[in-house]
Amino acid sequence: MKSLGSIRRSFAPWNDPQARPYISFQNVTKRFGDFTAVNDLSLDIYEREFFALLGASGCGKSTLLRMLAGFETPTSGRILLDGQDLAGIPPYKRPVNMMFQSYALFPHMTVEANIAFGLKQDGMPKAQIAERVAEMLKLVRLEQFAKRKPHQLSGGQRQRVALARSVAKRPKVLLLDEPLGALDKKLREATQFELMDLQQDLGLTFVVVTHDQEEAMTMADRIAIMDKGKVMQVATPAEIYEAPSSRFVADFVGSVNMLEGTVTSRNGNSVVIKGNSGAQISVENAGDAAPGADVAFAIRPEKIRVTSKRPETAANAMEGEVWDIAYLGDMTVYHIKLGDGQVVKASALNSARVSEDPLTWSDRAWISFAPDAGVVLTR
């Protein structure tokens, strides 16, 4: 896994102004009657990228995928694939393949016939089809299930047949609609890595739709967070998590504390925020927050320390009361109620079996964090 990580870090065509996007949505809008599923959306995806569309149900992510596959036509705007406008090209002539959420395995065909289906449509010679099918079966480790029908397979096996069928044609782009949605948690985690390896091995471009942020964070090179037909942010998982661009994104991905307040002064890239509770928060990397602006300071629970006494060196510290403690095994989440009634979540890794600074319900406690521990959000 380590090697994969380092490959990933060096792969960043989106930072290269010379790179040409492979898939390009240009001002795409899709309306169904009165309902606008996708609203004037522009988005670039690069070759060999593992791209995730993340959002709640009804945010338009599936519609976007279906427009790329050709099942829906944009109401306005263009979709380009490798420089070619896809308008008017029916799904069966597009060099993209899709893995369906329901898998859509043909129930009257064997595993083998399902995988061979797309190849037959291309008029590939029989011997070559057999060879490719065998290769695909091996890839997904289903060699001994070639003659089974879909209803004789487990959920995980079906998922792998669907995957084999959709990559058998070596499409330029593979679209995956909630590829792991129907699997249980354990299987899902194992399959995530299989999908990543497969994408690396075959060198394909993957566009995956998911509502599961963990899934998107694990697999994707970049994630587009969608809401109400719009893209809220496109960035790498780390950027999305550590530097969300808006309150929505910060709140949508992971757990976050939002401290609302007003900027009182700005010095270079640092600002001081007067929280609604009256507390002063000094923050570095303030973004574009100007003095007088109403902002939110977003900070992840794991970036906050909880102590029973006021820490001596902390840049920011606030006093409160232990309101709730959730012991999760690997970590403990403290809910600290501040003076103004806001409850802040802070998590502590349980690196020792017995805590040195035990806190319990109703104790007075201090929370503290570094000036660069969170971000200032103006939107």
Partner 1 sequence: MSQASAVTRPASEASASHGPGGIVLSAILSRLVIVVPYLWLLVFFLAPFAIVFKISLSETAISMPPYFPVFSWEDGLSGFWENVKELSFANYLWLVDDPLYFNAYISSVVIAAISTFLALLVGYPMAYAMARAPSSIRMVLLMLVILPFWTSFLIRVYAWIGILKPEGLLNQFLMWAGVIDSPLQIMNTHTAIYIGIVYSYLPFMVLPLYATLEKMDFSLIEAAQDLGCPPISAFWKITFPLSLPGVVAGCLLVFIPAVGEFVIPDLLGGSQTLMIGKTLWNEFFGNRDWPVASAVAVVLLLILVVPMMFFQRAQARSQEQER
Q: Which of 11, 100, 323, 366 binds partner 1 (CB under 8 A)?
A: 100
Q: Is 77 in the site for partner 1 (CB under 8 A)?
A: no
Q: Are 282 and 316 in contact (CB under 8 A)?
A: yes
Tokens of 302: 């794991």
Count of residues in contact with partner 1, rule CB under 8 A: 25
Q: Is 92 in the site for partner 1 (CB under 8 A)?
A: yes
Least separation in angstroms between CB 66 and partner 1: 8
Strand stretches in the chain, DSSP E? 23-32, 35-45, 50-54, 76-81, 84-85, 96-99, 173-177, 205-210, 222-227, 230-235, 257-267, 270-275, 280-283, 294-299, 305-307, 316-327, 331-338, 343-349, 364-369, 375-377
* Residue with Cβ nearer partner 1 (177 or 221): 177
CA 349 to chain centre: 24
Q: Which of 42, 121, 308, 355 binds partner 1 (CB under 8 A)?
A: 121
Q: Is 98 in the site for partner 1 (CB under 8 A)?
A: yes
User: Among 277, 252, 271, 274, which residue's Cα sits nearest to residue 344?
Assistant: 277
Give the Cα-Cα-Cα angle 59, 61, 65 (nearest 5 degrees): 155
Q: Are 307 and 366 in contact (CB under 8 A)?
A: yes
375-377 vs 294-299, strand pairing mode: antiparallel
* Residue with Cβ nearer partner 1 (72 or 221): 72
Q: Is 132 in the site for partner 1 (CB under 8 A)?
A: no
Give dist(CA 275, CA 294) in Å, integer: 10
Q: Which residues pair with 299 in a beta bridge?
A: 257
Q: Is 110 in the site for partner 1 (CB under 8 A)?
A: no
Give the Cα-Cα-Cα angle 19, 25, 29 (nearest 5 degrees): 165
Q: Are 360 and 348 in contact (CB under 8 A)?
A: no
Give dist(CA 175, CA 359) in Å, integer: 49
Q: Is 151 in the site for partner 1 (CB under 8 A)?
A: no
Q: Is 104 in the site for partner 1 (CB under 8 A)?
A: yes
Q: Is 193 in the site for partner 1 (CB under 8 A)?
A: no
Least separation in angstroms between CB 255 and partner 1: 35
Q: Is 69 in the site for partner 1 (CB under 8 A)?
A: yes
Q: Which of 122, 288, 312, 330 binds partner 1 (CB under 8 A)?
A: 122
Q: Is 35 in the site for partner 1 (CB under 8 A)?
A: no
* Residue with Cβ nearer partner 1 (17 or 90): 90
Q: Is 71 in the site for partner 1 (CB under 8 A)?
A: yes
Q: Are 371 and 316 in contact (CB under 8 A)?
A: yes
Give dist(CA 232, CA 347) in Å, integer: 27
Considering only the stretches 63-71, 192-200, 254-262, 295-303, report the one whose residues sit in contact with partner 1 under the rule CB under 8 A. Answer: 63-71
Q: Is 160 in the site for partner 1 (CB under 8 A)?
A: no
Q: In what order do the strands lie in the sheet with 270-275?
A: 280-283, 270-275, 257-267, 294-299, 375-377
Q: Is 91 in the site for partner 1 (CB under 8 A)?
A: yes
Q: Which of 10, 88, 108, 330 binds partner 1 (CB under 8 A)?
A: 108
Least separation in angstroms between CB 161 and partner 1: 12
* Residue with Cβ nearer partner 1 (98 or 348): 98
Least separation in angstroms between CB 32 and partner 1: 11
Q: Which of 63, 97, 210, 233 binds partner 1 (CB under 8 A)?
A: 97
Tokens of 150: 């879909």
Considering only the stretches 79-87, 117-125, 275-283, 348-356, report the one whose residues sit in contact with partner 1 under the rule CB under 8 A. Answer: 117-125
Binding site residues, partner 1, CB under 8 A:
69-71, 90-94, 96-98, 100-102, 104, 106-108, 117-118, 121-122, 165-166, 169
